[in-house]
Amino acid sequence: MLSEQELLEGCIRENPRVQEQLYKQYASRMFALCLRYSSSRMEAEDTLHEGFMRVFQSIGRYTSTGSFEGWIKRIMINSCLKKYHANKHMYLKQTNIEDFGQLNEEYHPTGYDKLQVTDLLDMVQKLAPGFRLVFNLYALEGYNHKEIGEMLDISEGTSKSQLSRARQILQKMLGYEKHQTTDV
Amino acid sequence: MSEKENNIDNLFKGGLDGHKPDAPEGVWGKLSEDLKGERNFHPVDDLFYDRLITNEAKPPLNVWGRIRNGLGNRFDAGIYNSLDGFEHTPPNWIWQSLAFILLLNRRNRIRRAVVFVTGTLGMLAFISLLQWGLYSTVPSFEVNETKEVHKLKVMKGGVANSRQLEKSNTLMHALGGNEFGSKANNKNKFAKNKDKIRLAKVERQLMVTGGNLAESKSELDLIALSAYPIFRLQSTASSPNANLQTTHFRLRTNVRLSGVKAPSAKRAKTATTSPWSIAFLASANHSFRSLKGAPRNEYLLIRNSSEKAKTTLSYALRLKYNLSNHLFVSTGISIVNRGEKAEYDFKTQQEAQTMVGFYINGVYELKPYKYTFTQDHKQNAENSYAYMEVPMAFGYRFDYRYFSIQPTIGVSAGVLTAANGTNLTMELNPSLVSLDEVKKQSMNRLNVGGNISVAVSVNMGKKLNFLVEPFYNHSLNNSLINNMDVKQYFHSKGILAGLEWKL
């Protein structure tokens, strides 16, 4: 396996074998990330394609100040955000929050060990695009509401509200109410 | 430090060194809460974070194929660039042109045979590549769809005009259907009255592409073989009356073979290593001159109205030395012809004295007699002055893909080798001007000038360039001998053109 430096130098020289090696090395992790940010597998494939194209085209600008994987990850997230901004006008129909009740702050999800990763992914993908992005950026990437607001061009309050709603929906999907009733 | 204090130190050091007590429970919880600050993670967040953040998912094979295709030419360029010293001659355009010609000729049996053979070979090659594991990248599956809609107005009794008929036939021909026939045939085919027919071609292609790069020690050092089986579905829809619904299924395989030929060792050793280049140039020289110090306006008036700039041919042999990737110096030798075209037509009045004989008181005496006469000067002349010059220039090269732009600045020093023609001389008597033959003796043998130019060098081959170079030369010294009252400076502008060979 090539070192990170060798990968960088090879990709700058546009060596196709090294480009393929870089793709193989990071594709699985990045595809998992794209799946979390997309509503379907096909959309995730498109985002992965666009993201890696941007990686190869702008690899000369990587300054080695942060981790290389972090830089690729950031490009992938930006590709997801770009896709979101481009299709924002299509997302008028948001998920009806009222259908999912109120968020229980004391809720501790347990007993979900048998739940498959694909099930969780499926739940995230079912979220409305805005909710999905905010949830991913806050809960999984660790951005704060101010940063998310700047990324998505929304207010900090909207970010908080969307996160709360995303959690409600996921809680509902996890079957919290049913789970609670059964326990009682 | 006293001995007592040292003992205490050793006591604590011995007792506590290596002591690793467990941190009290809850410290990390408190610490993580403090680190979170304002951040408030919900247990739902934790569940998804724990399960998804380290998740990996293998993307489908076609994604890399799409990325590789997206990198396009850069993919090939990358290969060639990595092979330093190799001369590449990808003959793609030849294959594409041949394929185009073959595909144009629809009725040719040879074409069908060639398509069948290449298709079979291509499929076999493709299967072999997969079988032998030579296939270096994942296959790419693509579905393309193109749609072409053509509207045709049909007037009563047939097609409206010949241009529309031609367009329709072209389309129908491309679709593999029958051409529209004469008006009589159309009568049966189309509606009786004015109607519009809409022809549409919908073409779907399922492309399976792949390629292999294999290095060998044969004459072709790199072989790129790619096979493209193409499954094509064509369907045609038109107005119901025309009954032109057709569907075609085709399976075609395109094969592309391109090679990278390695140069011989000798060529590789000398390739583009020399910083020298030599150029043979010719120029159209438009020379003109400026006059200074003429004591009489009449003289300037005659010259400015009678003499015109002349275009002459000059030749140059130029040596260029590259100091770096962009900077260069050049020198050489130039045969520069300068001159002017003169159409003199002026009159001068001169005073003369002659001895005239008179009989005064019966005695014959010769007396001086002064008179004034007018003299016409009419003469056409082609004046030319040939110099042999040595230019010295300093330049910078802006490189582009197919050409470079090279602005230069420099000086040139030359000696007069020939001077011919007729020139206007100014006699010592200021009232007299006359014509005289141009003589080298009246010219300054040395000429020094400043040059600026901008050359455009078009790459014609690995070692051959075509140069076009507009220039301006400004003489810095008098072209006439210094004891004349008038000073004459030659300047010239023109365009040099020629070939440059990289040594």
Interface contact A120-B137, CB threshold 8 A: no
What is the nearest CA distance from A93 to chain B, expressed in angstroms?
25
| pLDDT band with cut points at 50, 70 and 90 for residue B193 | very low
Domains of chain B as residue ranges with CATH = 86-262 (no CATH), 272-349+379-502 (2.40.160.20)
**Interatomic CA distance for residues B113 and B106, integer angstroms:** 12
What's the pLDDT at B242? 41
- What dotted CATH number matches A90-183? 1.10.10.10
Residues 61-120 of B with CB under 8 A from A: 62-64, 66-68, 70-71, 74-75, 77-79, 81-82
pLDDT tens digits, B204-228: 443 333 333 333 323 333 333 444 4
What's the pLDDT at B241? 40
What's the pLDDT at A176? 57
- Spatial CA neighbour of B142 closest among B52, B221, B232: B232
Residue B337's CB: how many other CB atoms inside 10 A?
20
Interface contact A120-B51, CB threshold 8 A: yes
Nearest CB among A16, A108, A144 relative to B39 is that of A144
What's the pLDDT at B168? 55
Structural domain spans, chain A: 4-86, 90-183
User: In chain B, whose CA is at the least distance from the CA of A168?
Assistant: B44
Lowest mean pLDDT among A47-61, A105-119, B289-303, B488-502: A105-119
Distance of CA A8 to the CA centre of its chain: 25
**Interatomic CA distance for residues A125 and B46, integer angstroms:** 17
> Contacts of residue B52 in chain A, CB cutoff 8 Å?
32, 36, 117, 120-121, 124, 140
- HEC secondary structure over B76-127: HHHHHHHCCCCCCCCCHHHHHHHHHHHHHCCCCHHHHHHHHHHHHHHHHHHH
**Interatomic CA distance for residues B451 and B289, integer angstroms:** 16
- Spatial CA neighbour of A167 closest among A143, A117, A142, A132: A132
**Interatomic CA distance for residues A25 and B82, integer angstroms:** 22
More confident residue, B136 or B476: B476
What the block records as the tokens of B96 is 């594409």
What's the pLDDT at B187? 39
Instruction: Give me the sign of the Cα torsion angle B1, B3, B7, B8.
Output: negative
Contact B315, B284 (CB under 8 A): no
Distance of CA A67 to the CA centre of its chain: 19
What is the nearest CA distance from A28 to chain B, expressed in angstroms?
5
**Interatomic CA distance for residues B332 and B268, integer angstroms:** 28
| pLDDT band with cut points at 50, 70 and 90 for residue A75 | very high
> What integer is the mean pLDDT of B420-448?
70
Tell whether the model's pLDDT for residue B188 goes beyond 60: no
Tell whether the model's pLDDT for residue B170 goes beyond 70: no
**Interatomic CA distance for residues B378 and B225, integer angstroms:** 79
| pLDDT band with cut points at 50, 70 and 90 for residue B14 | low
Tell whether the model's pLDDT for residue B167 goes beyond 50: yes
pLDDT tens digits, B252-294: 444 444 333 333 333 333 334 578 889 999 888 888 877 777 6
Report the topology of domain A4-86: Rna Polymerase Sigma Factor; Chain: A (1.10.1740)
Using a pLDDT cut of 70, give the percent of chain B over it. 50
Residue linked to tokens 């809720």: A107
What's the pLDDT at B308? 81
Interface test with B, best of A12, A26, A46, A52 (most B CBs within 10 A): A52
Contact B367, B329 (CB under 8 A): no
Tell whether the model's pLDDT for residue A88 goes beyond 90: no
What's the pLDDT at B115? 57
More confident residue, B483 or B458: B458
- Spatial CA neighbour of B449 closest among B392, B407, B395: B392
**Interatomic CA distance for residues B316 and B320, integer angstroms:** 12
Q: Is A16 on the interface with B (CB under 8 A)?
A: yes
More confident residue, B109 or B312: B312
> What integer is the mean pLDDT of A139-163?
89
N- to C-terminal Cα separation, chain A? 54
Helix (H, G, I), strand (E, B) or coil at B444: coil
Distance of CA A39 to the CA centre of its chain: 10
Q: Is A63 on the interface with B (CB under 8 A)?
A: no
Interface contact A27-B58, CB threshold 8 A: yes
More confident residue, B318 or B247: B318
What's the pLDDT at A35? 92
Tell whether the model's pLDDT for residue A2 goes beyond 60: yes
Number of alpha carbons in the 13 Å side-chain half-sphere of residue B343:
4
> Contacts of residue A17 in chain B, CB cutoff 8 Å?
136
pLDDT tens digits, A31-72: 999 999 998 888 898 899 999 999 998 888 888 778 888 999
pLDDT tens digits, B114-128: 556 655 555 555 554
What's the pLDDT at B291? 77
pLDDT tens digits, B342-388: 887 777 777 778 888 878 777 888 888 888 777 777 778 788 888 89
> Contacts of residue B72 in chain A, CB cutoff 8 Å?
none
What residues pair up with B489 in beta bridges, in sequence order?
B290
- Report chain B's mean pLDDT, rounded to a whole number: 65
Q: Is A62 on the interface with B (CB under 8 A)?
A: no
**Interatomic CA distance for residues A6 and A68, integer angstroms:** 12
Residues written for chain A = 184
More confident residue, B162 or B480: B480
- Spatial CA neighbour of B144 closest among B247, B246, B232, B65: B232
Tell whether the model's pLDDT for residue B89 goes beyond 50: no
How does A100-127 read in b/e, with b if 16+ C-beta sit within 10 Å? beebbeebebeeeeeeeeeebbebbbeb
What's the pLDDT at B160? 44
| pLDDT band with cut points at 50, 70 and 90 for residue A135 | very high
- Spatial CA neighbour of B253 closest among B134, B119, B376: B119
ipTM: 0.82
Same CATH topology for A4-86 and A90-183: the answer is: no
Q: Is A22 on the interface with B (CB under 8 A)?
A: no
Lowest mean pLDDT among B7-16, B52-61, B142-151, B409-418: B142-151
What's the pLDDT at B120? 58
Identify the DSSP state of A102: -
More confident residue, B175 or B386: B386
| pLDDT band with cut points at 50, 70 and 90 for residue B312 | confident
H/E element, B12: helix B3-16
> What integer is the mean pLDDT of B421-442?
66
> Contacts of residue A137 in chain B, CB cutoff 8 Å?
none
| pLDDT band with cut points at 50, 70 and 90 for residue B236 | very low
What's the pLDDT at B391? 92
More confident residue, B106 or B135: B106
| pLDDT band with cut points at 50, 70 and 90 for residue A18 | confident
> Contacts of residue B39 in chain A, CB cutoff 8 Å?
144
Number of H-type helices and E-type strands within chain A: 9, 0
Contact A153, A85 (CB under 8 A): yes
Using a pLDDT cut of 70, give the percent of chain A over it. 80
Looking at residue B378, its amino acid is: K
- Spatial CA neighbour of B140 closest among B57, B206, B59: B206
Looking at residue A117, its amino acid is: V
φ and ψ at residue A104, rounded to 5 degrees: -95, 110
What's the pLDDT at B113? 62
Identify the DSSP state of B192: S
Tell whether the model's pLDDT for residue A80 goes beyond 70: yes
> What integer is the mean pLDDT of B13-21?
63
More confident residue, B361 or B16: B361
| pLDDT band with cut points at 50, 70 and 90 for residue B23 | low
